[in-house]
């Protein structure tokens, strides 16, 4: 596996060189920069034990995380009907099986989702291991102690989010070629990674000021799934409402770096998904809300016929407006919704308190407040609000799964649930709420039954 990391790191270094040169050209205008790179072959593992390679490894961890979220956020959004299929089933499309809501273990098209997200988890955790093994730099080193601590903290944060993403979206856990374990293993690892990030001291103040709430917000979300609501609320309460932590994407002509949701609905070259026949379209038509922007005036059709309905209206989402649009990992508004949900979970639900928190989110987002007089109605609005707030961020599958497991009140919208008929409503014939351990993992891992 070291060869795999070495190759990824080499590509990260190449990208860093190219970007740095591009920034230099923009800054001085007349500077020149040779971006030609000769591939020396696999990087020897020993070189990655050098703390001076830490920046490239940490950057590689971030890029790997974006790659995993790229696939999970898109396909997961089709299953939860945050988007509706509108055409192509091949490159940047939604396969016929996913169109119907199926995420089956025998589906080789799902391999990339497992592989990319598992790779992100492994690279981030391996980066942490190597940084710790390299130890802090002695006085007089090229890398300062503050730089080392900042990179270590960032690596822990990436490891935490990589595990949180897998926990919210994968059915089961497999760690480094081991046996199948419960899905909760990912959340336990996420919590530990975020806690380790918060324990790092002496980093660059400006970066620490971002990574500290990022770690606490990530840990709050992981603790929700672990059922540790007391500590989840403690973490959530510490995050200011204005806080946002994004994962960047880049429009550099590489599929691996583009925002996949944006590229698949950019009209050129793809019209693969739409907001037609989604409750998000109905919601934004009735309630102006800047969090769910979409084009409702397009007269185009999707780029191919789909199983349920033939050619459908192409009404693209605009939240991820370009291939360089970031995907949010955490926010202060999400933390308020964690606190609101905790109020509704009490033996005597605090409807007034929960609705006050939900409306704090809505006011901050610039949309109208809502009311509820019963806990069932408050639960319905809480579920809707998380759908709006976390739209297209690879979060909805996990919410659906944990709400179903807890038998919480408050119905989901019919357009995000299985239809009574495959030709009406959501056009979902089933709704698998997690990605399986991939077929490729089962075929190559000797600790699995195949």
Q: What would the pLDDT profile of 303-348 be if each residue is shown by its tens digit?
A: 999 999 999 999 999 999 999 999 999 999 999 999 999 999 999 9
Range of the domain at 13: 1-48
Question: Tokens 């690279």 belong to which residue?
Answer: 123
Inside any domain, residue 258 = no
Q: What's the pLDDT at 22?
A: 31
Q: What's the pLDDT at 20?
A: 33
Question: Residue 188: pLDDT above 50?
Answer: yes
Q: Please give the Cα distance from 414 to 67 (Å, whole number).
A: 31
Q: Bin 87: left if φ > 0, else alpha if -120 < ψ < 50, else beta.
A: left
pLDDT in tens, 28-54: 233 333 434 455 556 555 555 677 788
Q: Please give the Cα distance from 426 to 418 (Å, whole number).
A: 7
CA 130 → CA 5, 11, 140, 186, 204, distances in Å?
12, 18, 21, 21, 20
Q: What's the pLDDT at 142?
A: 84
**Above pLDDT 90, what percent of the chain?**
83
pLDDT in tens, 344-358: 999 999 999 999 999
Question: Residue 16: pLDDT above 90?
Answer: no
What is the average pLDDT across 234-254? 95
Inside any domain, residue 417 = no
Closest CA to 1 of 125, 114, 98: 125
pTM, entire model: 0.90
Question: Residue 270: pLDDT above 90?
Answer: yes
Q: What's the pLDDT at 450?
A: 55
Looking at per-residue pLDDT, the higher value among 7 and 205 belongs to 205
Inside any domain, residue 10 = yes
Inside any domain, residue 55 = no
Inside any domain, residue 197 = no
What is the average pLDDT across 201-230? 98
And the tokens for 242? 């204005």
Inside any domain, residue 27 = yes
CA 315 → CA 74, 133, 293, distances in Å?
16, 51, 11
Looking at per-residue pLDDT, the higher value among 363 and 140 belongs to 363
What is the average pLDDT across 147-171? 98
Pair 344, 382: CB distance under 8 Å: yes
Inside any domain, residue 177 = no
Query: E strands within 23-86?
Result: 84-85
Q: What's the pLDDT at 285?
A: 97
- CA angle, 146 then 157 then 436, to 5°: 155
And the tokens for 97? 């099986």
Q: What's the pLDDT at 13?
A: 35
Domain count for the chain, please give it. 1
């Amino acid at each position: 596996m070291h060869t795999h990391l070495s190759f990824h790191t080499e590509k990260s270094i190449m990208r860093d060189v190219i970007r740095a040169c591009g920034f230099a050209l923009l800054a001085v205008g007349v500077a020149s920069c040779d971006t030609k790179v000769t591939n020396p072959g696999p990087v020897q593992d020993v070189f990655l034990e050098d703390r001076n390679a830490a920046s490239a490894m940490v950057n590689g961890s971030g890029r790997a995380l974006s790659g995993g979220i790229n696939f999970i956020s898109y396909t997961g959004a089709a299953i939860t009907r945050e988007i509706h299929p509108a055409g192509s089933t091949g490159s940047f499309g939604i396969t016929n099986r996913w169109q119907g809501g199926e995420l089956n273990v025998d589906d080789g098209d799902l391999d990339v989702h497992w592989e990319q997200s598992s790779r992100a988890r492994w690279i981030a955790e391996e980066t942490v291991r190597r940084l710790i093994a390299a130890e802090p730099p002695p006085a007089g080193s090229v890398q300062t102690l503050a730089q080392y601590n900042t990179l270590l903290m960032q690596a822990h944060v990436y490891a935490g989010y990589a595990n949180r993403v897998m926990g919210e979206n994968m059915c089961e856990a497999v760690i480094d070629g081991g046996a199948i374990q419960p899905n909760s293993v990912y959340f336990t690892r996420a919590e530990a990674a975020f806690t380790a990030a918060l324990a790092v001291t002496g980093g660059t103040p400006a970066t620490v000021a971002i990574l500290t709430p990022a770690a606490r917000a990530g840990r709050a979300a992981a603790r929700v799934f672990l059922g540790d609501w007391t500590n989840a609320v403690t973490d959530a309460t510490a995050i200011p409402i204005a806080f946002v932590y994004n994962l960047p994407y880049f429009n550099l002509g590489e599929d691996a770096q583009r925002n996949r949701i944006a590229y698949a609905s950019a009209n050129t070259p793809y019209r693969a998904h739409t907001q037609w026949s989604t409750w998000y379209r109905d919601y934004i038509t009735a309630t102006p809300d800047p969090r769910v922007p979409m084009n409702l005036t397009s007269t185009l059709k999707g780029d191919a016929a789909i199983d349920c309905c033939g050619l459908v209206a192409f009404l693209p989402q605009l939240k991820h407006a370009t291939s360089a649009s970031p995907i949010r990992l955490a926010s202060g508004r999400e933390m308020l919704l964690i606190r609101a949900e905790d109020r509704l979970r009490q033996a005597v639900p605090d409807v007034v308190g929960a609705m006050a928190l939900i409306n704090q989110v809505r006011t901050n987002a610039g949309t109208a407040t809502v009311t509820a007089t019963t806990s069932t109605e408050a639960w319905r609005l809480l579920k809707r609000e998380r759908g709006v707030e976390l739209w297209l961020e690879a979060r909805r599958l996990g919410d659906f799964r944990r709400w179903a497991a807890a038998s919480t009140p408050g119905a989901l919208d019919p357009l995000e649930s299985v239809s009574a008929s495959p030709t009406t409503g959501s056009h979902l014939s089933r709704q698998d709420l997690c990605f399986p351990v991939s077929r490729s993992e089962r075929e190559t891992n000797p600790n699995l039954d195949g």
